[in-house]
Amino acid sequence: MFEARMAQAALLKKVLEAVKDLVTDANWDCTSAGISLQAMDSSHVSLVSLLMRKDGFDMYRCDRPISLGINIASMTKIMKCANNNDAVTLRAEDEGDTVVFTFESADQEKVSEFEMKLMDIDSEHLGIPEREHTATVKMPASEFHGICRDLSTIGETVQVSVTKEGVQFTASGDTGKGTITLRNNSSVDEESQQVVITMQEELSLSFALRYLNFFTKATALADSVTLSMTADLPLVVEYRIEDTGYIRYFLAPKIDDDDDEDNN
Amino acid sequence: MFEARMAQAALLKKVLEAVKDLVTDANWDCTSAGISLQAMDSSHVSLVSLLMRKDGFDMYRCDRPISLGINIASMTKIMKCANNNDAVTLRAEDEGDTVVFTFESADQEKVSEFEMKLMDIDSEHLGIPEREHTATVKMPASEFHGICRDLSTIGETVQVSVTKEGVQFTASGDTGKGTITLRNNSSVDEESQQVVITMQEELSLSFALRYLNFFTKATALADSVTLSMTADLPLVVEYRIEDTGYIRYFLAPKIDDDDDEDNN
DNA sequence: ATGGTACTCC
DNA sequence: GGAGTACCAT
């Protein structure tokens, strides 16, 4: 028996928003420690990794590990039926082929139950090593969101260049070129507004904006986002989910990492 | 001569919103008592019945009964030209083939007139008997709206089950099953938020959500909606129009009213 | 209440 | 493929 209850449906809704454009089906792997999900996007370019630890839940019970194969669109539809401050309970029998969502309104006058069929999904459970990166940039999530959106109107690729002084995002295309520079400002009062750079050496990598724009669907989940970069290794874009875990996205850099590239 | 004036164009706009998706042409039957309209929807499945008593108007005059055959889309277009708090006057000559809409802005600084051609419409004026029902459920109109919208994502049919304790709405489909339960809570302070059940005996009937979703276009007209049900008879969905009358929708239950039905 | 998006019909 | 319509989200 698996059963987990969270006080605010809003959280799960936001998680789905952050996943649904990238992934059609995924296994939600539930253990006594919590829920995790790993999936490649449908074009096998990027990877999403979600962790929700059991302490992020009001109530959490998982008698034995269970993998819930879920169609994300169906789950999204169901979660749309919850109000943001409904309590949500997920329940699955060990040998069952369904999961049941229960929504309870704050005033207890309304209870909704949605039963969803589970799927069999080949899970490519990729062990992703936690590694040190050459450079990390922590910045306001909404700032990153805006930068990716804006640069998309210029070109398809963004070049991210990190120095001790700051981070620079550049895109170019037919209409011209756009560059956005954020200064390292870890001294700003509000932590959520800080731009904090940690690095061993300067570095410059290019990424497909199309995927970054999918990643920024997680903006509602966290005030800050952290970009972790190492030459020739995938970028990691991490949003911490308060008290609960994180959602991380992985995206390999474009190989043509030079300024002369003009065929975006 | 027929002439009627209402202080707020908003009311007539909302009435049109509540009718236009269901009915293309309809006779507005005007008598000294007021205006009424009855029409089947275009697929002859459901029925709309509108009543606006003369006391709902600022000014009302109807020398002899007259039936105004109106294309609802045309009238909607014309009413879109009125501001919500314009006063509206409808005027038709006894032997004429047009109706004139006059909009006067609140500050009297602007007057608009639109003349619309009338149509000849075969009116199937169905005498609908007022009858006692086995069960009625009064609930917040917005709640009913949300339930119909949410369950539409699950299946095409909703089963409505009424007991003394509450009312339950259930739909099922390929992706699973959804159930929403509202407790009878007539003791809630705000009358508009109450769920009030009146019943002779428990009952469970199924309806096509497609039509219920057309009916909920009337949500803006009233805080509450009342569902009246009797086995094998059409459901009546009633929105009271404050001080004026009502709009009622009728929809026959689906015949397969059992839980084993799986071909929604 | 209004604007954007997504769907459906033509 | 385009326009109109309906729905959702802000």
**A252 and A159 fall within a common domain:** yes
pLDDT at A256: 66
Nearest one of B170, B158, B159, B162 to B136, comparing CA atoms:
B162
Instruction: Based on the fold, state whether residues A112 and A38 are members of the same structural domain.
Output: yes
Choosing from A117, A145, A179, the residue where a domain stops is A117
Same domain, B247 and B160: yes
Residue of B nearest to A74 (CA): B175
Q: Is residue B225 part of a domain?
A: yes
Distance CA A100, CA A263 (A): 49
Nearest-angstrom CA–CA distance, B230 and B136: 9
Q: Do B176 and A116 touch (CB under 8 A)?
A: yes
- CATH number of the domain enclosing B26: 3.70.10.10
Q: What is the pLDDT of residues A200-213, one digit of tens each?
A: 999 999 999 999 99
pLDDT above 70 (res A264): no
Q: Would you state the pLDDT for residue A123?
A: 77
Burial of B261 (C-beta count, 10 Å sphere; 0-12/13-18/19+): middle
- State the pLDDT at residue B98: 96
CB atoms within 10 A of CB B234: 18
Q: Are residues A139 and A106 in the same domain?
A: no
pLDDT of B51 reads 96
Instruction: Tell whether A127 is covered by a domain.
Output: no
Q: How many domains does chain B have?
A: 2
CB-based contacts of B189: which residues, under 8 Å, 6+ apart? none
For residues A258 and A141, state if they share a domain.
yes
Asked if B150 lies within 8 A of A117 by C-beta distance, the reply is no
Chain C bases closer than 7 angstroms to a protein Cβ: 1
Strand D: which nucleotides have any atom within 7 A of a protein Cβ? 5-9
Asked if strand D contacts B213 at the CB level, meaning under 7 A, the answer is yes
Lowest mean pLDDT among A187-191, A192-196, B189-193, B254-258: B254-258
Among partner residues B153, B154, B182, which is closest to A110 by beta-carbon distance?
Answer: B182
CA atoms within 13 A of residue B138's CA, in its CB half-sphere: 15
Residue B4 is predicted with a pLDDT of: 98
The least confident of A139-143, A195-199, B78-82, B256-260 is: B256-260
Region A49-54 average pLDDT: 96
Q: What does DSSP assign to residue A20?
A: H
* A127 has a pLDDT exceeding 90: no
- CA A11, A16, A18: angle at the middle one, nearest 5? 95
| A187 and A230 fall within a common domain | yes
Domain-embedded: residue A246: yes
Do A148 and A158 touch, CB atoms closer than 8 A?
yes
Q: Which domain holds residue A178?
A: 135-263
Give the model's confidence band at A124: pLDDT under 50 very low, under 70 low, under 90 confident, else very high: confident
**Is A109 in contact with B183 (Cβ distance < 8 A)?**
yes
Q: Per residue in A62-88, pLDDT tens? A: 999 999 999 999 999 999 999 988 999
How confident is the prediction along chain B (264 residues), in pLDDT tens digits per residue? 999 999 999 999 999 999 999 999 999 999 999 999 999 998 889 999 999 999 999 999 999 999 999 999 999 989 988 998 899 999 999 999 999 999 998 888 899 999 999 999 987 777 788 899 999 999 999 999 999 999 999 999 999 999 999 999 999 998 899 999 999 988 888 888 899 999 999 999 999 999 999 999 999 999 999 999 999 999 999 999 999 999 999 999 998 644 444 443
Shared domain for B7 and B103, answered yes or no, is yes
Residue ending a domain, among A117, A148, A180, is: A117
Same domain for A98 and A215: no
CA A180 to chain centre: 23
Give the tokens for residue B39: 């029409």
Is B130 inside any structural domain?
no
Chain A residues with CB-CB distance to B155 below 8 A: none
B85 CB closer than 7 A to any strand C atom = no
Average pLDDT, chain A: 92
The verdict on B149 and B252 lying in the same domain is yes
Is B206 in the same domain as B176?
yes
Residue B145 shares a structural domain with residue B258: yes
Indicate if B139 and B259 belong to the same structural domain.
yes
Query: Where does the pLDDT of residue A114 fall: very low under 50, low under 70, confident under 90, or very high at 90 and above?
Result: very high
pLDDT at B261: 42
Q: Does residue A130 lie within any of the structural domains?
A: no
- The residue among A84, A85, A87, A117 whose CA lies nearest residue A100 is A117
Q: Per-residue pLDDT tens for A153-171?
A: 888 999 999 999 999 999 9
Q: Using CA coordinates, name the residue in chain A closest to B187.
A: A109
pTM of the model: 0.91
Q: Of B87, B117, B147, which residue constitutes the final position of a domain?
A: B117
- Whether A122 is covered by a domain: the verdict is no
In a domain, residue A128? The reply is no
The pLDDT value given to residue A28: 96
| Residue A83 maps to a domain | yes
Cross-chain CB nearest to B178 (options A71, A109, A112): A112
State the pLDDT at residue A209.
92
